[in-house]
Amino acid sequence: MVHGSPLSCAGVWAADSDLRVTAYGRQVEELGYLTPTEIQRQALPVLFSGRDCILHAQTGSGKTLAYLLLIYSIINTQRSAVQALIVVPTRELGMQVAKVARMLAAKADQPEPENKPCTIMALLDGGTLKRQKSWLKAEPPTIIVGTLGSLCQMLEKQMIKLESMRVLVIDEVDFMFNSSSQVSSLRKLLISYSSINNRQTIFASASIPQHRRFLYDCIQQKWTKADVVHIHANPVQPMPARLQHRFLVSQLLN
C-alpha cells in the first residue's frame, strides 16, 4: 500500500471507487493507508459493481485491502452466518490476512446496540481446530480466513455452509493450482460454490502464467460468472533506475 500525503482519505477513496468506501475511509487512514494503489484504483469500481474479478498485481500492491473493503461493504452482521470465505495457501499468509481484517474491523465505528460486531475466524492448518469447532457451533463468524486442509475438514462435517456465502476469495491462486496437494480440493470448492446464487468470486495473485487460459478456464468451468474481469496492474516491468553492466575480456588462444 502506498503511503501518501495527509488528505481526506474518505474523500479520496470514495472518489476513486464507490461511496460505500467512505464508511471505511477514516479507518483505512488510521491504519496508515492514505491513497489507493494502482490495483485498488482499477479494482474497486469493478468489485463494487458486483462482478467477479482476477486481481493480478505484485506482492505488496494492496490486493488484500481491495477485497477486504468489498467484503466489509456487503456483509450484514445481523445475519448469524459465515458470509465471506478467504482461502489462502499457507498458515503464514492466513495470519497476515486475518490480522488486516481484524484491524479494519476494530477501527470501524462502534455498532448500534441492536447490531453485532464483525467477527473473523482464522481456520488454519497446524492447529487442533477444537476451539474453532466450538465457535462455529455456538455463533458462526462473519468472515473466515482459512487454508484448504482445515476448510475441507469443516465443510465435510457441514460445520460451514456455503449457501450463506456472499464472497469467496482465493488468494495466491497460482500457488494453489500448482500444488498437487491442494488443486483437487480447490477445484471441488469452486465447483460447489458455483451453484450459489448472489455470489461473487475473487482470485488474487502476484503472478498468473498464461492468464488468458486461466480466464478461459474460469468461465468454462463456471468458477466465475461469464463477465469476470482480469485486472492486471503495472503489467509492464519498468527499467531499473540504475543498471550496471560488467564484462570480462579473455585472451583468445590459437
Q: Which has the higher per-residue pLDDT, 13 or 40? A: 40
pLDDT band (50, 70, 90) for residue 112: low
Q: Mean per-residue pLDDT for 225-234?
A: 93
16-37: pLDDT as tens digits: 445 455 556 667 777 777 788 9
Residue 10 has pLDDT above 80, yes or no: no
Q: How far apart are CA 154 and CA 147, in angstroms?
A: 11
Are the C-beta atoms of residues 224 and 190 closer than 8 Å to each other? no
Query: How many angstroms separate the first and last alpha carbons of the chain?
Result: 58
Q: How far apart are CA 247 and CA 245, in angstroms?
A: 7
Q: Which domains does the chain have, with CATH numbers?
A: 49-232 (3.40.50.300)
Q: How far apart are CA 47 and CA 18, in angstroms?
A: 10
pLDDT number for residue 146: 95
**130-138 and 148-156 are packed helices; what angle lies between their axes, rounded to 10 degrees?**
50
Residue 80 has pLDDT above 80, yes or no: yes
Cβ atoms within 10 Å, residue 137: 9
Are the C-beta atoms of residues 211 and 230 closer than 8 Å to each other? yes
Max distance between CA atoms of the chain, in angstroms, equals: 90
Q: How far apart are CA 81 and CA 140, in angstroms?
A: 5
Closest residue by Cα to residue 199 from 181, 222, 172, 215: 222
Q: Where are the beta strands (DSSP E) in the chain?
A: 53-56, 84-88, 120-123, 143-147, 167-171, 200-205, 229-232
176-189: pLDDT as tens digits: 988 888 888 999 99
Q: Mean per-residue pLDDT for 64-74?
A: 93
Inter-CA distances, 123 with 37, 148, 150, Å = 29, 9, 6
Q: What is the DSSP string of 98-112?
A: HHHHHHHHHHSPPPP
Q: How far apart are CA 232 and CA 54, in angstroms?
A: 8
